[in-house]
Structure formats: structure tokens, C-alpha cells
Structure 1
Amino acid sequence: MNNRELLLEEQPPGGRGLRVSLLFAPGSRPTSAMMQQLFASNEMAGISGQISYSPDESEGWLEILASGLTFDLRGLAPADPAEPCVPGQNYGFAEDAADKPLEAIDLVPGGHIAAGGGLQPVVRALAGLAANLVLNLPVAAVVWHTAGTRMEPRYFARSVLDWLSGGAFPALGLTALLPSSDGSVASHGLAHFTGQEIQMAGAPGETHADTVKLALRVIDYLVRKGRLTQAQEISGPGITLLAEPSQYSNRVWIWRKE
């Protein structure tokens, strides 16, 4: 294993399986009854889904059918909230919200589709459902666990709904970009969409912000294209990049072609 692989091994771990948490101020988590009323109201016209199973309210969860797929909503009041969230990156906040005491409810794939949590239709349906819930509930923050990110609610909803409408992939949120000591940036959470992470080398004299902007374009390209099995060129305005899959791990190295 070379130095670059060792550097990637130092990045913080991601979430285990597809899971999004909606965070609320203490005492403001919705109940099962409130969610049923919300889904039945005209205010939820933006959600193409319905509640398909509702156990006793004390159990604190519901099954939701959306886009032909079932998802579990867990941690509803009066049951205990979902497990605490410890994200590594914050996006969209005017200031750091990491220290605020919040309670979580979780949205996860239902049991019979859990094994397919990495499939694009499942990820897109879950992200879209979460975004619409954010627009209709007093959510204080959103955690996307496979990337270890925490997002401002409107930032999350806007970027996800734009992506689902054909816009750019929300790389700063559904993935994270982490700086490395050699000036490169590494993705975290992209493997859930493509099976691979990227690490982009910075150019001499280039700012970190410019390296990140270029990495965002590459991530959008790779999410649309899928897993790379061999080296290839990626061309953009005024620049040509070389994308080379690693022989040692599920990584793609991105270099500027000389």
C-alpha cells in the first residue's frame, strides 16, 4: 500500500447502511398520529407516498410507501428518539450547529429492500422523501449517515430536490470532501453511489476552494456514469483530467493531464 492509500485509511468512517436522520429540538419530535394527519393533509401534496403500516403509537415507528418502495420512520414520540448522531462535516449552516441538543428520527429502507440500499432508485426515493418531510416538519438539521454529514434543512431539501429534477448531484452533503495534508481532497460517502471514493490532487498554487470546486464537477460526472473500471480522461472547460482506479482499494485518483 502506497502513501496515498495510507492517507485515505486515516479518513473517518462513514455510516453503516443507508440512513438519514431528521433532527428536532427536544420535545418537538412528531408522533405517529401527527405523521398520519400530515400525510392525509393537502400540505403533503409534494410527497408521492402514503403510510402503509402503523403499529401502536407507543412503538414510535411507521412504514411509508413511496415510489413503490417501503421505508421505516423510527424514533417518533413518545418512544425514545433514534440513536445519537455524530457527524463529521457541517454544510449549509450560517454557524456551527454541532453543539445544539437535538433529538433524531430516522428514515431507513424497509426490511425487504434494506439489502438494496445502495441502488440508485432506493437512494433517490429515500432522499426525495426526506427532503419533502423536511419541508413539512420543524426539522433543525439533517444527517446523511453514509457521508457523516450534517446539513441545514433548507439546504438539504433544495439541493436534493434540484438533483432529483435533473440538476447537479449534491456532493457537499450526500458526500463530504475532506482535505489531506498533501493539498489533495478526498471524498467520503461517494462509494455508496458509485462503489468508489475519489482523491483529487491539487495543482501547484491552487487554493483548496478551487480544488474542491473541481472535485464537485468530477463527483457529479461519476455519479451519472457509475463505477470506473479503467483509466480514462475527463474533459471540462479549459482542463483535462485523468481518472485512474486504484489497484489496492475502491478509490479513483484524479490528476490533471500534463
Structure 2
Amino acid sequence: MSGLLPSLSRAAISHDPAQRAGGASSQLHGGNRARISVTADGRRPSRGNAERYDARRDAWLELLVDGLTFDLLGLAPGPALDTPAISHLFSVPTDLDLGAMDAIGLFPGPHLCGGANSLPVVRTMLALASDMAEALGAVRAVVWSPASSAIAPAFFRKIVASWLRGGPFPAMGVVSYAVDGEGGLQSEGLAFFNGQELALSPALSDDRIAATRLAARLVHELVASGAITEDTVFATEDGGQIMLSPDTAGRTIRVTGM
């Protein structure tokens, strides 16, 4: 991986346990090896999602970017990384078998674990991932596990670059959308940022394109403002109004017309 760094102006290797142990530098793997599964915040999902990966077992590379450290997992000589579950595709061919491909994972370093969902950390991590996707060349998809989404590299770079330039939050990809059994549009991935998901009423979801645009605009606002704790009126682009109402558990925001 050290050969990749010259093309990544944002990052420097701050720690390589493989070299420290006297072995070859951590690198992209090939062939069959034992596999590990890690969640979005860099924790193993087994044992109650409480165990972080361990350098004694899992080869990882620490990258320093703008004063923040991120760990790159799935590198040889350690175990390969499982591909997270994917339910939503953004410009990715439906016949592409991502589960059969090698995966590397980028995660906030241990000192950032408590703030893995903060916007400064997410912005820096997505910017680094975008640079890596371009530099590696052979990347077929970028997976964002909180939204169970797989995003085509070119589309991923486009939406991240737009956000970094002051554009809208990348609500198509970093958040996903699906229609529930009653015909309402629901989000997946917003809760990573504010603890809540959106649920648009069936009446607001008849036009799927319009509903998705509305949801994306709401995501942009809610990622910045945080959780909704009381009924809130929201003005739509066409001059109308909708109501945002948190459910009793506070985990879902019901969106209805007025």
C-alpha cells in the first residue's frame, strides 16, 4: 500500500503493524484467507458488538489525514474482510457479485470511535475513500454499511466532491430508500447521523421520484440539524408544507402532508 500513498495527497501512513513486527508491509490481499466482519464504527459484530479489531490478529494500516487517523482493514498478511450486507445499488450493475470480490475497509481510528458519525469525521473519511477509489483503479463499488448501499466509484466521487465544495449532503448513497408494505418511502442510514429514520406517508410517496427528492432534501437538513423531538412544519420547494412528527420511541420521523 505504500506505493499508493504518493497519489493520496490527503494521507500519510502513521502506523503499519506488519512492518513493526518485522514482516512485509501490509498490502492488498489475494487468494482465500480467513475472514473477519467489522461494523461501520470499526467493531466486530460478534460478542455483542463490543470487540474492536486487534492488530495481533487483524492486519491493518493506520492513515493520518488532517490530524485524524483512520484504519484500513482487509490487508494481507491478516484475514480478509467480509463484504457488508447490501440492499441498495447506486449506479452499480445488478449482476455484479460484490460478495465474491476482495474487500478493504476504512474505519475511524479507535480514538475517533465515539465520534464516528460526526460530520467532520465522515467528511474526512469519505474524502479519503474517494481518493482511494480513484487511485486504486480496480474498485468496482464503494459500500457504505449504515445504508446497506453499494455505490459506483464514479458516482461516489461525484457526490462526495460536490459535498466537499459546499453542495448538498450526499443523501443518495450515504442514505438509501425503499418502499414499505403500505406504499410509503422509508430511509435507511439517516439514523447513523441523528438516531432517526424517515417514513414518508403513502400519499407523499405516490410519485417515487418526487418522494425520493423530498426525502433527500429532508436528509440534508436533518443531518445538519440533528434529531427531531417535536412536531415540526417543513416548507417544500413548491411552496407547500409537510409535518415531521417523531414517533413515541423517537426513532422514526413520520412525514405527512398538511
Say yes or no: TM over 0.5: yes
Counterpart in the other structure of 2:85: 86
How far off is 1:139 after superposition? 0.8
Indicate whether 1:54 and 2:13 are aligned.
no
Q: Distance in 1 between matches of 2:214 and 2:161?
A: 22
Give the count of matched residue pairs.
219
Counterpart in the other structure of 2:248: 247
How far off is 1:237 after superposition? 2.3
How far off is 1:204 after superposition? 7.1
Root mean square deviation of aligned Cα: 1.9
Amino acid at match of 2:16: S
Counterpart in the other structure of 2:124: 125
> In the TM superposition, what whole-angstrom CA distance separates every residue of 1:23-59 from its partner, at most 9, and x where no partner exists?
xxxxxxxxxxxx22221x2x323xx221111122366
Q: Distance in 2 between matches of 1:244 and 1:205?
A: 17
Amino acid at match of 2:69: T
Counterpart in the other structure of 1:203: 203
Counterpart in the other structure of 2:8: 44
Q: Distance in 2 between matches of 1:223 and 1:204?
A: 21
Contact 2:92 2:152 in 1 (8 A): yes
Counterpart in the other structure of 2:41: none
- Secondary structure at the aligned position of 2:173 is classed as helix
Contact 2:205 2:211 in 1 (8 A): no
Q: Give TM-score, length-normalised by structure 2.
A: 0.78
Q: Distance in 2 between matches of 1:116 and 1:86?
A: 23
Counterpart in the other structure of 2:165: 165
Contact 1:107 1:130 in 2 (8 A): yes
Q: Distance in 1 between matches of 2:205 and 2:75?
A: 50
> In the TM superposition, what whole-angstrom CA distance separates every residue of 1:62-121 from its partner, at most 9, and x where no partner exists?
100112111100112343321233211111125442467211011111112112212221
Equivalent residues in 2 for 1:73-112 (5 A)? 73-98=72-97, 101-112=100-111
Counterpart in the other structure of 1:256: 257
Contact 1:202 1:211 in 2 (8 A): no
How far off is 1:154 after superposition? 1.1
Q: Give TM-score, length-normalised by structure 1.
A: 0.78
Q: Distance in 2 between matches of 1:220 and 1:177?
A: 14
How far off is 1:249 after superposition? 3.6
Equivalent residues in 2 for 1:121-200 (5 A)? 121-137=120-136, 138-200=138-200
Indicate whether 1:70 and 2:36 are aligned.
no
How far off is 1:125 after superposition? 1.4
Sequence identity percentage: 32
Q: Distance in 2 between matches of 1:90 and 1:251?
A: 23
Q: Distance in 2 between matches of 1:205 and 1:55?
A: 50
> In the TM superposition, what whole-angstrom CA distance separates every residue of 1:193-226 from its partner, at most 9, and x where no partner exists?
1221110113279322222222111111212222
> In the TM superposition, what whole-angstrom CA distance separates every residue of 1:216-256 from its partner, at most 9, and x where no partner exists?
11111212222212111111222211111111241111111
183-192 or 109-118: bigger deviation = 109-118
Contact 1:194 1:222 in 2 (8 A): yes
The answer for unaligned runs of 5 or more in structure 2 is: 19-24, 27-57
Contact 1:183 1:208 in 2 (8 A): no
How far off is 1:171 after superposition? 1.6
